[in-house]
Amino acid sequence: MAGKVLDTITAEEARRVIDAAARKAEEIGQPMDIAVVDAGGNLKAHVRMDGAHIGSISISINKAYTAIAFQGETAGLQELTRPDGPIYGLSDAHGGRLVVFPGGIPLVRDGSIMGAIGVSTGTIEEDQQVAEAGVAAY
Amino acid sequence: MAGKVLDTITAEEARRVIDAAARKAEEIGQPMDIAVVDAGGNLKAHVRMDGAHIGSISISINKAYTAIAFQGETAGLQELTRPDGPIYGLSDAHGGRLVVFPGGIPLVRDGSIMGAIGVSTGTIEEDQQVAEAGVAAY
Amino acid sequence: MAGKVLDTITAEEARRVIDAAARKAEEIGQPMDIAVVDAGGNLKAHVRMDGAHIGSISISINKAYTAIAFQGETAGLQELTRPDGPIYGLSDAHGGRLVVFPGGIPLVRDGSIMGAIGVSTGTIEEDQQVAEAGVAAY
Amino acid sequence: MAGKVLDTITAEEARRVIDAAARKAEEIGQPMDIAVVDAGGNLKAHVRMDGAHIGSISISINKAYTAIAFQGETAGLQELTRPDGPIYGLSDAHGGRLVVFPGGIPLVRDGSIMGAIGVSTGTIEEDQQVAEAGVAAY
C-alpha cells in the first residue's frame, strides 16, 4: 500500500448526519433514502429507511454527488435547468448522475465542502427539510 | 401510489448486521466497505469505514447483489468461473455488476433469503470473515 | 455557492507531473496518454501525446482512478487478479472502471495519497516507467 | 499495428488553446474545466483549474464532443432542443454525452473542423467567452 487516502468526512460524522436526517423523516412521517458522500463525491454511507423508494437509492446518492459536483445545493439548479433556463439539458449531459431538484446539500466546515447529503423519496420540500436536518447535525 | 413495496430486511436489521461486521473489521484492524441489500438485490444500507477503499464501494454493493442474484455465497462462484470452469465468463455477462470471489453472503431466515451482505477492501479471507460476522448478527 | 471543494492536487502540480512523464515518453520514443486524478479519483488533467492511442484515453484515466480506488499501484493488482489468483474477476466487478496492470501510481505526500497518475499506450514496462517519471516530479 | 491514426490537432496546439482559455478564465476570475477533443471527438487534453467543478469534467469534455458531433457550436443547439423546438429530446438521445447549451466550439482550419474546445463551470456567458478565447489562440 502506497499511502492512505484522506477521509474528508468520517464514518462517525456520516452516521450522525444520517441519524439526524432519519429522525426528521420519522417526525414528518416520510421514510427516506439518505446518502452521504465525501468531498470527492464518493459514497461514504447510505440507508434506505423502511418504506422508502428503491428508485430513490440512486437519486439520493446522485443528489449528494451533484452537490459536490457543482459546489452547492441541488435546489439551486432547478430554475437554471428548466425548459426556458440557461442550462436546460444539464441533467442529460453527464451520463445520468446529476439531479437538478432539491434534496442535495453540501456539508461545509470552515468554508470548505467536506461532503454532501442527498435525500429522496418524499416531496421535494420534504426531501429538502430532511437534508437540512442532516446538515444541522454536521 | 399503488401500494407499498415489502421490506424484506429492515433498516434496523441492516444496521445491526453492518455494526457487527464493522466490529469484526476493527478487531482484525482492516477497515472495510460494508453493504447490505434486500431480497430484491437493492441497496438497503452501506458504510465505508475510515480508511476503506473507494474502489470497494461498488465491489461491496455488487458482492451483496451477486449473493442475491445467484442465491448463494459469492465464494461459491470462484472455481466455477475460472478459465477452466463451466461458467467461465460469468463476471462479464451482466454489465459489470457481478463479483465472483468471497465476501458476499445471503442473509437467511426460515429458509428464505431476506437480503445479503457484501464486504470489500481486505484480503478475501478477511472480507469473508467480516461478512460472516455480519451474518451471525442477523 | 455553499463553499469550496478542497483541491488535493493543484493544476500546476498536475501539469508538472504530466510534463515530466511526457519528457520520459519522448525520451523512450513512445507517445502516451497521461492522466492525473485528485484524491477523490476525479480527473484533474489529461493529455494525449501525438500518436498515442485513442483507446488509451480511458485506460490512462482509469489507471489513475484505480490507483486511488485501491490505494496502491495498479501493478500490484496484476498477480492477484490472474485466472488462478484470489481476486480473479475484479476487473469485471466495477462497471468497467478498473485497470489491473501496470501504469497507475498514487501521488503521495506526507503519507497521504493526494492524487494519482495513469499512463497508457506503450508496453506495460514503458507505461510504468513513464508513470514513475511523473511521480518523481511530484 | 496496421498504421497510425492521424492527429488532427497536436498536443502542442491543444495546450496553446487551453492556456489561452485559462488565461481568460483567470482574467474574469472564474476557474474552469477546459477540454480539447480532436476531429474524431476523442479527448486530446483536459485541465480542471483549481476551484473548478468536478461535475464540469464531463460537461466540458461533452461540450467539446458535441461540437464535433454536430459540426457547430453547442450554443446553436439551445433553442432547437427546447420543449417547443424541432429536436426537443436530443440531449436524451445519445446516452448522456450531448450538451445543448453554450461553451462548446469547433476549432477550424482552412474550412475543416480539426477539433473542438469545451468549457464549463461558470455561467454560460462566461463558458462561451472562455471557449472563444481558446478558439482565438488556435
Q: Domains in chain C and their CATH numbers?
A: 11-136 (3.30.450.150)
pLDDT of residue A84: 93
Yes or no, beta carbons of B47 and A4 under 8 Å apart: no
Least CB–CB distance from D96: residue in A66, A87, A94? A94
C-alpha cell at C12: 500546476
Chains B and D touch (3+ CB pairs under 8 A): no
Cβ of residue A88 closer than 8 Å to a chain D Cβ: yes
Residues linked to residue B48 through DSSP beta bridges, in sequence order: B33
C-alpha cell at A70: 457543482
Least CB–CB distance from B11: residue in A40, A42, A47? A47
Yes or no, beta carbons of C48 and D42 under 8 Å apart: yes
Secondary structure letter of residue D82 according to DSSP: S
Cβ of residue B55 closer than 8 Å to a chain C Cβ: yes
Distance CA D28, CA D23 (A): 9
Cβ of residue C54 closer than 8 Å to a chain A Cβ: no
Percent of the residues in chain B that have a pLDDT greater than 90, as a whole number: 92
pLDDT of residue C2: 66
Q: Which residues of A touch C135 (CB under 8 A)?
A: none
pLDDT of residue B128: 98
Would you say residue B43 has pLDDT above 80?
Answer: yes
pLDDT of residue A5: 77
Residues C61-99 pLDDT 10s: 999 999 999 999 999 999 999 999 999 999 999 999 999
Neighbours of chain B (3+ CB pairs under 8 A): A, C
Would you say residue B73 has pLDDT above 80?
Answer: yes
Distance CA B34, CA B61 (A): 8
Least CB–CB distance from C42: residue in A6, A40, A67? A40
Number of Cβ pairs closer than 8 Å across A and D? Answer: 60
State which residue of chain C sits closest to A2, comparing Cα positions.
C72
Yes or no, beta carbons of D123 and A86 under 8 Å apart: yes
Cβ of residue D54 closer than 8 Å to a chain C Cβ: yes
Yes or no, beta carbons of D99 and A93 under 8 Å apart: yes
Would you say residue A1 has pLDDT above 60?
Answer: no
Looking at per-residue pLDDT, the higher value among D4 and C134 belongs to C134
Specify the pairing of strand C4-5 against strand A112-120: parallel
Give the number of residues written for chain D: 138
Cβ of residue B42 closer than 8 Å to a chain A Cβ: yes
Q: How far is CA D80 from CA A81, C102, D91, D92, D126, in A?
A: 15, 46, 11, 14, 21
Could you write out the DSSP letters of every residue in D7-61? -SS-HHHHHHHHHHHHHHHHHHT---EEEEEETTS-EEEEEE-TT--SHHHHHHH
pLDDT of residue B17: 98
pLDDT of residue B80: 95
pLDDT of residue C99: 96
From B22's Cα to the closest Cα of chain A, the distance in A is: 11
pLDDT of residue A2: 66
Yes or no, beta carbons of C98 and B54 under 8 Å apart: no
Q: Which among A1, A4, A5 is the top mutation candidate for probing chain C, defined by the most C β-carbons within 10 Å of its own β-carbon?
A: A5
Q: Is the dihedral of CA D18, C130, C98, B55 positive or negative?
A: negative
Would you say residue D83 has pLDDT above 90?
Answer: yes
Q: Which residues of C touch B58 (CB under 8 A)?
A: 93-95
Q: Which residues of C touch B54 (CB under 8 A)?
A: 40-41, 68-69
Q: How confident is the model at residue C6 (pLDDT cuts 50, 70, 90)?
A: confident
Percent of chain D that is helix, strand, coil (3-state, to 5): 40, 20, 40
Would you call A1 exposed, middle or buried from its count of C-beta atoms within 10 A (0-12, 13-18, 19+)? exposed
Q: At what angle do helices C11-27 and C124-136 cross, to 10 degrees?
A: 140
Closest listed residue to residue B46, CA positions, set A47, D3, C74: A47
- Is the separation of the CB atoms in D121 and D29 below 8 Å? no
Write D78-84 long-range contacts (CB < 8 A, 24+). D78/A88, D78/A89, D78/D102, D81/A88, D81/A89, D82/A83, D82/A84, D82/A88, D83/A83
- Is the separation of the CB atoms in B119 and B134 below 8 Å? yes
Distance CA A15, CA A33 (A): 13
Q: How confident is the model at residue B126 (pLDDT cuts 50, 70, 90)?
A: very high
Write phi, then psi, for B136 (nearest 5 degrees). -60, -20
Percent of the residues in chain A that have a pLDDT greater than 90, as a whole number: 93
Yes or no, beta carbons of D82 and A86 under 8 Å apart: no
Q: How far is CA D98 from CA A89, B33, D3, D43, D58, in A?
A: 9, 34, 31, 15, 10
The H or E element that residue C108 is part of is strand C104-109
Q: Taking residues C105-109, report their average pLDDT.
A: 97
Cβ of residue D16 closer than 8 Å to a chain C Cβ: no
Yes or no, beta carbons of D48 and C15 under 8 Å apart: no
Give the number of residues written for chain C: 138
Would you say residue D1 has pLDDT above 60?
Answer: no
Residues A69-110 pLDDT 10s: 999 999 999 999 999 999 999 999 998 999 999 999 999 999
pLDDT of residue C33: 98
Residues A4-16 pLDDT 10s: 877 899 999 999 9
Distance CA D62, CA C4 (A): 24
Percent of the residues in chain C that have a pLDDT greater than 90, as a whole number: 93
Closest listed residue to residue C69, CA positions, set C115, C29, C26: C115
Yes or no, beta carbons of A41 and C40 under 8 Å apart: yes
Would you say residue A39 has pLDDT above 70?
Answer: yes
Least CB–CB distance from A57: residue in B7, B43, B53? B43
Would you say residue D6 has pLDDT above 90?
Answer: no
Would you say residue D126 has pLDDT above 90?
Answer: yes
Q: Which residues of C touch A42 (CB under 8 A)?
A: 40-41
The 3-class SS string of A72-117 reads CCHHHHCCCCCCCCCCCCHHHCCCCCCCCCCCEEEEEECCEEEEEE
